[in-house]
Amino acid sequence: MIEFQHVSFAYEKGREVIRDLSFRIGDGESVGLIGANGAGKSTVMKLMLGLVSGEGKILVDGEELTKQNLSLIRRKLGFVLQNSDNQMFMPTVYEDMMFAPLNYMLSREEAEKRVDAVLGRLGLQELKYRHNHRISGGEKRMAAIATVLAMEPEMILMDEPSSALDPYNRRLVINAIRELGQTKLISSHDLDMILDTCDRVILLSGGEIAADGPAEEILRDRALLESHHLELPLRLADK
């Protein structure tokens, strides 16, 4: 469970990117974070992960995020970056997946077991020993998700997981996301994907919440979406 209580944040003095933001995400929820470019989606994620710190309180499982418990809290959160290259810094997929479990003091055997399980679940066994710079964009994205799953986080944050993928790979990623049991927070402009993967949507605008409610409801509201530089998902536009 994650809770934001009156959180504000500014990269430069006087120019707040996040303004007095409060919301709560319960266990097992899948939440889509949408909004125009510059609405503050990425910043919300960074705040949650403690990569930047602002004013107000952020609670994870009822515990306030501070410098002291940062590593404990980060252990619960998995973050899939938009640019997989920035995430996958080890030479091979396998080593990248081992990175987090080994850092969390798992033995090599346990970590390897975990890696194999995740790869099996995602159907990526053949990627295991491939080199990160030699796999395709779609494979890389799936592998990036796998590296995060190998941490066994309680909650998964994703930044544009479907960007720059072909329809087939996009569908693969969507199916993979749908099957994750964890709490999910997905930031994206791909509203069709949000519709497929999330029950609830938070619409950000200028660092504030413009709307928060069931995905089916918000993603059907043409006027609301268009006033925030967004469009109806294609699947709903036909009807």
**CB 87 to another protein: min, Å:** 5
Q: Select 91 or 123, whichever has its Cβ closest to another protein.
A: 91
What whole-number distance in Å separates Cα of residue 33 and Cα of residue 2? 14
**Stretch of residues binding another protein (CB under 8 A), selected from 18-26, 46-54, 118-126, 174-182:** 46-54
**Stretch of residues binding another protein (CB under 8 A), selected from 15-23, 45-53, 189-197, 200-208:** 45-53
3-state SS string over 52-85? CCCEEEEEECCEECCCCCHHHHHHHEEEECCCHH
Residues touching another protein: how many (CB under 8 A)? 35
Would you say how long the chain is, in residues? 239
Q: Select 107 or 227, whichever has its Cβ closest to another protein.
A: 107
Site string for another protein, 56-95 (x = CB under 8 A): ---------------x--xx-xxx-x-x-xxxxxxxx-xx
176 and 122 in contact (C-beta within 8 Å)?
Answer: yes
**CB 193 to another protein: min, Å:** 22
What whole-number distance in Å separates Cα of residue 22 and Cα of residue 4? 5
102 binds another protein (CB under 8 A): yes
**Stretch of residues binding another protein (CB under 8 A), selected from 55-63, 125-133, 196-204, 212-220:** 125-133
Q: How far is CA 188 from the centre of its chain?
A: 9
CB atoms within 10 A of CB 120: 10
Amino acid identity for residue 106 in this structure: L
Q: Are strands 200-205 and 183-187 parallel, antiparallel or unpaired?
A: unpaired
What whole-number distance in Å separates Cα of residue 124 and Cα of residue 105? 25
**CB 89 to another protein: min, Å:** 6
Interface with another protein (CB under 8 A): 46, 49, 51, 71, 74-75, 77-79, 81, 83, 85-92, 94-95, 98-100, 102-104, 108, 131-134, 147-148, 151
